[in-house]
Amino acid sequence: MNLLAVEFAEQEAPSGTITLFFSGDAAVQLDVECIEMAMRDLGPEWAAKKRPQHD
């Protein structure tokens, strides 16, 4: 499974719900009291064949 997106819905600060969205229409929802997080890509790099065109 590939992680596609992370969403945080704040409830009573600093608590909330974290939803992790994965490929294949899978998701995991976490109810948390607070969160401190750092992310790092651990996979290999590769050149993109196409890039989005935004204004």
Report domain extents, the chain.
Answer: 3-32
pTM to 2 decimal places:
0.66
At residue 43, φ and ψ (nearest 5 deg) are -85, 175
Spatial contact of 19 and 9, defined as CB atoms under 8 Å apart: yes
35 token code pair: 């969160």
CA–CA distance from 33 to each of 6, 19, 52 (Å)? 17, 14, 37
Above 90 in pLDDT, residue 19?
Answer: yes
51 token code pair: 């890039």
Round to whole Å and give the CA distance between 47 and 53: 17
Across residues 17-29, what is the average pLDDT? 96
Spatial contact of 47 and 38, defined as CB atoms under 8 Å apart: no
> pLDDT band at 18, cuts 50/70/90?
very high
pLDDT at 8: 95
